[in-house]
Each structure stands twice: as C-alpha cells, then as structure tokens.
Chains A and B, each alone.
Chain A
Amino acid sequence: MNDQRIRTLHLYLACAAFCLIMPTMAHAHVEQGQAAGFLTGFEHPWSGLDHILAMIAVGLWGAQLGNPAIWVLPIAFPMMMALGGMMGLLGIPVPGVEAGIAVSAIILGLVVLLDIRPNLVIAALLVGFFAIFHGHAHGTELPPGQSGLLYSMGFVIGTGCLHGVGIMIGLIHRYQVGKFLLRGAGAFITVMGCLFLWQAVA
C-alpha cells in the first residue's frame, strides 16, 4: 500500500471518528411509546381467539346479508365497542363480560350457520350489543408508558381489519358452494363459542 492510500485511509478513519464523537441534540421530555402504543392496540384484537372469531363472524354475517348490512355492521361494531371501552375506563361495570364475549361468538356463529336475515336495525343492535362486551374487556388494557390515543386507534383499526377479513371470506357467498362453506364457518364459530363459554363459566 502506498503512502497516498494510507493517508486517504487515515482521513476516512478520522472523519468516521469525528462523526461518532459529535454531540447529538438533547431532547428533553420527548414523547415516548407512541409507535408502541399503536402497535400494541393493533395487535390486541388479534391476540385472543374469542375476539378474532366474533369479529370475523360480524364480517361474515355482513357479507351474507349483503348491502347495506355489509358496511353498516362494521361501522356499528367499532362505535359500540368504543362505548364499551369508555364504560370500562369510567369504571362502569358490565356483568359477565367473558361470558358475553363467548355468547357473542355462539350467537353470531349461529346467525351465519342458519343464514338468519333479520331487519337491518335488529342486526345492527345485536352486533352493537355484543360489541360492548368486547370493548369493555379489551379496549382498556393499555400497557404503562404508552399513548392511550394511539393504543385506541390501533385497537379500533385492528378490529376493523378483522371485520375486513370476515367480509373478504364472506364474499364466497355469491357461489353455491361458498354458501355451504360460509354456513360451515358459522358452525365452527358456534362450536368454538361454546368452548369459550365453558372456559368462562368453569
């Protein structure tokens, strides 16, 4: 290696060392836990099978009922779920929350299985009623140090994505075989709901 190359190498090393010892800006009280709050909230609905199956059942039922239920139910659910979460935050008790979540899976699975087509208002009220239990149980579990707003946004968006999954699966309803498969999915959700109820009560 000639002198020129050695000098160049030294220059690079000096520059690198210089960059490493540069003082960085000192931010006092910078907000922390922002991204973590959103991710925790987003992950939360996906972490419990009872919640996942009930959310997907809402999407399946919406797809089975068709327009306008396909979008009314996924709009009604997060609003009522947030109301349940607010009740939980204010310390307003809801009796039998875990059993209510399990029953929601049973009932929503049954309506998909039996292809029940009630009035839109009744369908929205039924879905909204069960949403309160889900919100009360899961909407308030904020880990310490994380942003409550971003946790809430993540939680709502995560739930909405699960509805979206249910709707996408439910689109098979347009095919004859798909109708049977959809009802089979309803049966599976009902059976799982019974299992959750057994666990909640036992």
Chain B
Amino acid sequence: MIRLLKQKAGFAAAGLVGCLLFLPTAAPAHLVTTGLGPVYDGIGHLVLTPEDLVPTLALALYCGLRGARTSRYAVFLLPLAWFLGGLIGTMSGLEPAYPLSAASFLLLGILVAADIALPLPVVAPLTVLIGLMHGFLNGLVLKSGPGIAGLLGIMGALFVLVTLATAVVVSLEKPWTRIVVRVLGSWIAASGMLMAGWHLQGAL
C-alpha cells in the first residue's frame, strides 16, 4: 500500500515538474538575453554590441598608451560614468539610436593611431564624456529589459575589460608592439568613418 502511494506521489511530482518545464518563457524583443538573469544580460549586451565594445577597447588602448596613471583613472571613471549615463537613459523617454557611436570610433581611433599625448586633465573628462554617452544609449535600450541590474553587469564588465586591456598596453615595452596598438587605432577610426557614412546614407 505504502509502495503504491509512493509510486503515485512520484508520478504526480514528475507530472508537476513536466508542467513547469513546458511553461512558455518570456519573449524579449530587441535584446539578446543570456537566460542567466539581468546582470549577465547586461554583460552580454556589452560584449555582443560592437558599438559599445570597440570604443571601450579603444579608450583602454589610448589610456594604456598614456601610461599607468591615466589608466588607473580610466578603470574607475569609465564604469562609473557609464552607470550614471545609463541611469539617466533609463529615465529618459527617447528612442534608442546609435549615430553617436561613430563619433566615439572616429575620435578614439584617431587618438590611438596618432598617439596624441593629451594631458590627464583632458583625458579624464573625455573618459567621463564617453562613459556618459554610451551609458545613456545603453540605458535607452536596457530600460525595456534588464534595467539597472543590467547596468550593474555592464559596469562590472567594463571594469574588467578596461583593467585587462590597459594592463596589456601599459606593459608593452618593445616599440613595434606599441605600433601594433596604433595600427589597431587606425582600423577603429576607419571603421568609425565608414559607420558614419552608413548613418549619413540612412539619413539622406
């Protein structure tokens, strides 16, 4: 008798689990979700969005070329400014748009390619400006999805990415390795110029 009851309870539990597994899941529009929660969705958004990822790496390359002191500022300023911009974006009623990213590509790419030695009082506000702008654009997109938790994920990912990339560039000693970084900058600037062309073509 007890064995029969246990068997029935087992079937009932299996049926319940089956029903739960067959429940339809959410259908998120316009955002790639990781299925691991909003923080990872934010990380995924940064890593899978070249409009944000490439300028981040370009800024890290530039700060790395400028040295360890400038890089330390970038490691903290960029994620904080990005988060602040994201908060403003989530509260804004504007529609997501990306033409501003082309300006980041172009500006940062030229700075890296030409290895222009800007002083820290200029690089720090520039880092904040880039962070605020991209964070704002992210906030516009993320408000319909992961929201502020997603921004926290992006902030963490930015901290790691900028730390790693600047550390690599700062540690470069041989002249040709710094030239490779500058060539990468020229590629970023060239991509930004073409990106601006695509945007202008769409606007005309």
Cross-chain contact A90 with B200 (CB below 8 angstroms): yes
Question: Is B15 part of the binding interface, using a Cβ–Cβ cutoff of 8 Å?
Answer: no
What is the CB-to-nearest-CB distance from B152 to chain A, in angstroms, rounded to a whole number?
A: 23
Question: Is B189 part of the binding interface, using a Cβ–Cβ cutoff of 8 Å?
Answer: yes
Contact with B along A10-38 (1 / 0, CB 8 A): 00000000100011011111110000000
Which secondary structure dominates chain A's binding surface? helix
Cross-chain contact A89 with B197 (CB below 8 angstroms): yes
Question: Is A186 part of the binding interface, using a Cβ–Cβ cutoff of 8 Å?
Answer: no
The docked-state distance in angstroms from the alpha carbon of A75 to that of B187 is 8
What is the CB-to-nearest-CB distance from A20 to chain B, in angstroms, rounded to a whole number?
A: 13
What is the CB-to-nearest-CB distance from B175 to chain A, in angstroms, rounded to a whole number?
A: 9
Question: Is B36 part of the binding interface, using a Cβ–Cβ cutoff of 8 Å?
Answer: no
Cross-chain contact A71 with B182 (CB below 8 angstroms): yes
Question: Is A165 part of the binding interface, using a Cβ–Cβ cutoff of 8 Å?
Answer: no
Cross-chain contact A22 with B194 (CB below 8 angstroms): no
Cross-chain contact B186 with A28 (CB below 8 angstroms): no
Question: Is A56 part of the binding interface, using a Cβ–Cβ cutoff of 8 Å?
Answer: no
Question: Is A152 part of the binding interface, using a Cβ–Cβ cutoff of 8 Å?
Answer: yes
Cross-chain contact B50 with A28 (CB below 8 angstroms): no
A81 contacts across to B, CB distance below 8 A:
190
Question: Is A97 part of the binding interface, using a Cβ–Cβ cutoff of 8 Å?
Answer: no
Cross-chain contact A82 with B27 (CB below 8 angstroms): no
A74 contacts across to B, CB distance below 8 A:
183, 186
Given contacts A31-B32, A160-B187, contact A23 B24 (CB under 8 A): yes
Question: Is A63 part of the binding interface, using a Cβ–Cβ cutoff of 8 Å?
Answer: no
Question: Is A196 part of the binding interface, using a Cβ–Cβ cutoff of 8 Å?
Answer: no
The docked-state distance in angstroms from the alpha carbon of A74 to that of B183 is 7
Select one of A27, A28, A86 contacting B194, CB under 8 A: A86
Given contacts A82-B191, A86-B197, A149-B198, contact A25 B183 (CB under 8 A): no
Cross-chain contact B197 with A149 (CB below 8 angstroms): no
Question: Is A153 part of the binding interface, using a Cβ–Cβ cutoff of 8 Å?
Answer: yes
Cross-chain contact B24 with A28 (CB below 8 angstroms): no
Cross-chain contact B26 with A30 (CB below 8 angstroms): no
A155 contacts across to B, CB distance below 8 A:
194
Q: Which of A48-78 touch B at CB < 8 Å?
A: 71, 74-76, 78
Cross-chain contact B193 with A79 (CB below 8 angstroms): yes
Cross-chain contact A85 with B194 (CB below 8 angstroms): yes
What is the CB-to-nearest-CB distance from B180 to chain A, in angstroms, rounded to a whole number?
A: 9
Which secondary structure dominates chain B's binding surface? helix
A75 contacts across to B, CB distance below 8 A:
113, 182-183, 186
Question: Is A83 part of the binding interface, using a Cβ–Cβ cutoff of 8 Å?
Answer: yes
The docked-state distance in angstroms from the alpha carbon of A31 to that of B200 is 21
The docked-state distance in angstroms from the alpha carbon of A139 to that of B35 is 37
The docked-state distance in angstroms from the alpha carbon of A74 to that of B182 is 10
What is the CB-to-nearest-CB distance from A158 to chain B, in angstroms, rounded to a whole number?
A: 10
The docked-state distance in angstroms from the alpha carbon of A160 to that of B113 is 14
Contact with A along B32-51 (1 / 0, CB 8 A): 11010000000000000011
Cross-chain contact B193 with A82 (CB below 8 angstroms): yes
Cross-chain contact B193 with A29 (CB below 8 angstroms): no
The docked-state distance in angstroms from the alpha carbon of A79 to that of B186 is 6
Cross-chain contact B183 with A71 (CB below 8 angstroms): yes
- Select from chain A the residue with minimum beta-carbon distance to B201: A89
B200 contacts across to A, CB distance below 8 A:
86, 89-90
Contact with B along A141-164 (1 / 0, CB 8 A): 010000011101101110010000
The docked-state distance in angstroms from the alpha carbon of A26 to that of B27 is 5
11 intermolecular pairs with C-beta atoms under 8 Å apart: A26-B24, A28-B27, A30-B32, A74-B186, A79-B189, A82-B189, A86-B194, A89-B194, A90-B201, A148-B195, A153-B191
Q: Which 5 A-B pairs rank lowest in CB-CB distance, beginning with the nearest?
A: A89-B197, A152-B194, A82-B190, A86-B197, A148-B198
